[in-house]
Each structure stands twice: as C-alpha cells, then as structure tokens.
Amino acid sequence: MQTINIGLFGFGTVGSGLAEALCSQHERILRRSGLSLKLTKIAARSLSSLPPQLAGVELVKDADALINDPSIHIFVELIGGIEPARTCILKAIAAGKHVVTANKALLSQHGKELFAAAAAKGVEVGFEGSVGGGIPLIKALKEGLAANKLLAVMGILNGTANYILTRMTEERLPFAEALREAQRLGFAEADPTYDVEGIDTAHKLAILMTIAYGMNISPQQIATEGISTIEPVDIEFAREFGCRIKLLAVSRDIGGAVEARVHPTMVPTAHLLASISGANNAVEFCGDLTGSIILSGAGAGRLPTGSAVAADVIDIARNIAAGAVGRVPALSYLPEQIVDRPIAPLSALSCPFYLRITALDKPGVLAKIAAILSGHGISIESVIQKGRRENEPVAVVILTHTAKEEAVAAALREIDSLDTVAAPTVRIRMLGEE
C-alpha cells in the first residue's frame, strides 16, 4: 500500500473540513484508491494546538515547513487571498510538489502564471473547491463534457447573494435586513462587498469560462453588477410577472465573441435556476452534444468544500501512484491551445428589460416616458402603476420586449434627466434573450 503525504496550509473553515474528510473517510478512500492519504503537517500561525482526532499531525507555524519537507507530496493551500498564497504555491511548485487550492480570487487573477509554472515543473494543480463548493463543476467541465463544444455557462455562484434574495422573496425583507441576517448566520462577511456586488461571482465565472472555452479571461473583463439596489418592491413585481430575481453569472459563445456578465436577472419560475434557494448554488452548462445540464447543491460550507478539496487530493494521489501525472490538463485544453478571445461588450446585449421608474404622478408623465423609449426603438410589453399620490413619486414599472442594452441605457439617461423623475431608474435584465 502506497502512502501519499499531504501538507495543509490554513486551518480555517475549509481546512478543518478537509482534515475531517481525510480522517473520517480514510478507510473508504483506501478501498477506492488503494492509497493511504496521510495528513502529516498543518501550517497555521494562529493555532496553538489541533483537535484530538489529528493527534498524529504536526502543527507548524510556517508554510516553508511544508514546502521544504521532501516527504510531502501534495501541498494544499487554503488560506485564501492573493499573498502570501501566490508566493507559497509558486515555491511549492518549484519544490516539485503538487498543489491543491480553493482560492478563486488567486486563480482568476494569477491562474495563467500558476498553471504555466506547474506545467513546466511537471506537477498538477487541483482547484475543484474554488467554484461551487461541493458541486463537482470543474470535473464536469474538464472531463465529463470534454467531447462538447460549450455553448453557454450560466448559474448562481454565490450563496450569500442567493440567501439574501431568497429571504427577500420568501419573507419580504428589505435588503439591509436580509444582509444582517446573512451576516449573523455566517453566510456573509463583515464586509460583504465581494458577495453582494457580484465580484466573487465574476471570479468564479472567469475560472469556468477558461475551462469551458479554452480562453484567457480576467474578472476585470466581466461586466459586473450586484444586488444592493434591489428593493422589496422589485421582488413583488417579479412575483407578479411569474419570476424570481437571482444574481446570475452568464456566458455564451456567440461565434465571433463570448459574452461575460454578472448581474441581477429576472428568471421565470418555470426555469430550474429560479427554484435554487438559500445558500445553494447551481450552474447550467449547455454543450452542443449534451444540450442543457444543471448541477446544483451546497455552494459553500466546511464539509461540502472540504469534500471538493479532498476529491482533488485523491485524483492527484491516484495519478502519482499510476505514473499518470498530467493525464488531464489543468484547464482541460492543452496550454498552447488556450487563447485570447474577444469579449462581447455588454452594450451589444439584447434581452427584455424590467424598468422601475420613480416618477411624479402627474398627467403626461407616462406619455413622455413612452415617447422616449419609442424614440430609442424600445417596444413596451406592459406597464404597471400601483397606487396614486398626486404630485408625489410613485413606482411605474415597464416591461419591454427584447431591446438592445445600448438603447435602453441611452433611454434611461434621458428619462432620469426629466424633472418629473425623482430617482435613478432600476433596470433588471430578464432571462429570455435565448
């Protein structure tokens, strides 16, 4: 029986989940792989001791104690952030160690450098835990869909935002209150910006797009909007229209270019993504051979993400034992086949729109708004105004037929400049451009 030694850098939520998975499932992993996966050292500066079940594991303060230990085969980085994670991973690769990480921010911004270094050294980098928590999204793209041309990737990739929108929908809570609840339960950080403004989702979409299309892309190239402007009134109108609002990551291969966007979206309740609630994630892949496939489940958490990291450790250990390191390229495509591709500007998007205009309740206001929309070639499907408060602002909701993003943006600049419009118009794209 071969033993594969593992060094773990970071013992927070995911690190402790990985340690539990490797310990509690040791016999099962042995039966499945014929390998003994042994967690030998953990580097964590803030800890003075480890739990009793890790009695045989050495606690060290510095990642160099793992990197410089020739007996460790796999270096697992679970501290998050850019530095010192990037430097430590590069040092581990240079030392000939295989690497496993769940660091989506690092991979989305510096993945090209890390994967190139690993390929040059002949070691593997596993990163299943970086997107979708316990859902095997990376493996599905890299291997399960390898024969397909990926036509689209779309999904809910941030559990915090989805939890907030779920609470706003089911309990009619305002955004701020739903956010406070998410923070109290540990779903949201003290500074929730990355989650609620779509930045975390953009990092994850960049990783998925690289694998799906064999392309170089950074999060900065992805048009990104968050959910902080969504109000209960928008949730209620969505309900009336038979929709739910979700923060979606959307990418489509449209031939000459690839779409890349993250934004709140009205999703028809008949669509499976509309039913994903709480902190769960779900992603729809569309292949030219398979059609649509949706994977869903726990998108974060100690044991689900720990399970994903453990799966990478097992895969790499199997490849070491079989002499098959590098059998599957890290990004599915051969490194020389990963190329730059044009990103379609958001202004070129065509889809139906939900517009909530805060306008004074005066005669002729709606006619002016309709004329502006018409002047930009935007056709109105329906208009709803609830309540009347003479000479006071009320919500006027307009659903458009399919319209160009560029035209809608220009029309809203004109509408919001009217002296009868009291606040910036809320615009939510509707799933329906396909």
> CA 304 → CA 17, 105, 199, 284, 312, distances in Å?
8, 19, 22, 19, 13
Total H helices, total E strands in the chain = 14, 20
38 is in an annotated binding site: no
- Verify whether residue 204 is a known catalytic residue: yes
Provide the sign of the torsion angle of the four alpha carbons 410, 411, 412, 418, taken in this order.
Answer: positive
Q: Does the annotation list 405 as a binding residue? A: no
Are residues 70 and 38 in contact, defined by beta-carbon separation less than 8 angstroms? no
| C-alpha atoms less than 13 angstroms from C-alpha of 211 in its C-beta half-sphere | 29
* H-assigned helices in 73-121: 85-94, 104-121
Dist. CA 107–CA 130, nearest whole Å: 8
DSSP three-state, residue 212? helix
- From 112, 204, 368, 404, active-site residue: 204
CB 406 within 8 A of CB 431: no
Both tokens assigned to 279: 């902190």
Q: Is the bond preceding 84 in cis, omega lying within 30 degrees of 0?
A: yes
139-177 burial, b if ≥16 CB within 10 A, otherwise e?
bbbbebbeebebbbbbbbbbbbbbbbbbbbbeeebebee
Q: Name the H helices within 140-269.
A: 159-171, 175-184, 193-196, 199-213, 232-240
Catalytic residues: 204
Q: Report the binding-site residues.
A: 104, 189
- Could you tell me which residues are annotated as the binding site for NADPH? 104
